[in-house]
């Protein structure tokens, strides 16, 4: 069976150790977490997790069912087509390429977030694939640090 990448969103009751339940489930059953983001949903007692995972059809189906089975899980959202975004921050030494870096960031929905005497920090938010391209392209400016934020996703409809 073919292994594919999937984005799964999980809405959970915001309670003690709920994140441990979810990561524990993945660990115990040998499922893969490529990326994970969590934040509370405004004006509710729920949180939303977005999990990027890999597996064949049977594994993905099991992941969804097992997530559902957890008592604090309210909803599991899984679509082939989700609007996905990922954020990345990169730190570069300040030198003559400043304007090139800025142009590159702008091409990927981003810009310069902070400038200190030694470094600039850029921020880009885009589709995961484009973020990957951006990181590749930015290598020529010798980044000293990269922080990826993990994927967030929303259903189109």
Partner 1 sequence: MEMTGAQMVIEAMKLEGVDTVFGYPGGAIMNVYDEMYKQKDFKHILTRHEQAAVHAAEGYARATGKVGVAFVTSGPGFTNAVTGLATAYMDSIPLVVISGQVPITLIGTDAFQEIDATGISRACTKHNYLVRSASELPLILKEAFYIASSGRPGPVHVDIPKDVTAELAKFDYPTRVDIPTYRPTTKGNVRQIKKAAEAICRAKRPVFYLGGGIIHSGSAELVREFVKATQIPAVETLMARGTLRHDDPLLLGMVGMHGTYQANMAMSEADLMIALGPRFDDRVTGKLSEFAKHAKIIHVDIDPSSIGKLVDVDYPIVGDLKEVLGVMIPKVKEQVDPDRYQPWREILKRYNEIHPLGYEESDKVIKPQWVIERVGELLGDDAVISTDVGQHQMWTAQFYPFSFPRQFITSGGLGTMGFGFPAAMGVKRARPDKISVNFTGDGSILMNVQELVTAVESRLPVINIILNNHYLGMVRQWQTFFYEKRYAETDLSFQPDFVRLAEACGGIGYRVETKDEFDEALKDAVEKGVVAMIDVVVDRNENVLPMVPSGGTLYNMMLEFKD
Q: Where along the sequence are the contacts to partner 1 (CB under 8 A)?
A: 12-13, 16-17, 20-21, 24, 28, 58, 61-62, 65-66, 68-69, 71-74
DSSP conformation class of 144: S
User: Given the complex with partner 1, which of 17 and 116 has the nearer CB atom?
Assistant: 17
* Nearest distance in Å: CB 17, partner 1: 7
Kindly report the backbone phi and psi dihedral angles of residue 15, in degrees, each rounded to the nearest multiple of 5, phi listed first: -135, 170
Residue with Cβ nearer partner 1 (37 or 66): 66
Nearer to partner 1, 11 or 135 (CB): 11
For residue 138, what are the contacts with CB-CB under 8 A and spacing of at least 6? 90, 92, 101, 104, 122
How far CA 27 is from CA of 63, 65, 77, in Å, comes to 11, 15, 20
Please identify, using beta-carbon distances, which residue of 21 and 79 lies nearer to partner 1.
21
At its nearest, how many Å lie between partner 1 and the CB of residue 40?
Answer: 15
CB of 23 to partner 1, least distance (A): 10
Residues 6+ apart with CB under 8 A from 64: 8, 76, 78
Least distance in angstroms from the C-beta of 73 to partner 1: 6
Q: At closest approach, how far in Å is the CB of 105 from partner 1?
A: 41
Question: Which residues neighbour 136 within 8 Å (Cβ) at sequence distance 6 or greater?
Answer: none
Of 67 and 151, nearer to partner 1 (C-beta) is 67
């Amino acid at each position: 069976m073919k292994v594919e990448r999937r984005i799964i969103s999980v809405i959970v009751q915001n309670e003690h150790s709920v994140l441990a339940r979810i990561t524990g489930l993945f660990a115990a059953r040998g499922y893969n977490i490529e990326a994970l983001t969590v934040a509370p949903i405004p004006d509710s007692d729920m949180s939303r997790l977005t999990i990027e995972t890999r597996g064949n059809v049977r594994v993905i189906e099991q992941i969804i069912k097992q997530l559902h089975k957890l008592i604090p899980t309210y909803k599991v959202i899984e679509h082939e087509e989700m609007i996905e975004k990922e954020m990345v921050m990169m730190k570069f030494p300040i030198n003559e390429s400043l304007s090139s870096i800025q142009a590159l960031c702008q091409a990927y929905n981003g810009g310069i977030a902070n400038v200190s005497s030694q470094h600039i920090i850029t921020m880009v938010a885009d589709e995961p694939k484009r973020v990957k391209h951006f990181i590749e392209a930015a290598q020529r400016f010798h980044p000293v640090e990269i922080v990826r934020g993990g994927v967030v996703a929303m259903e189109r409809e």
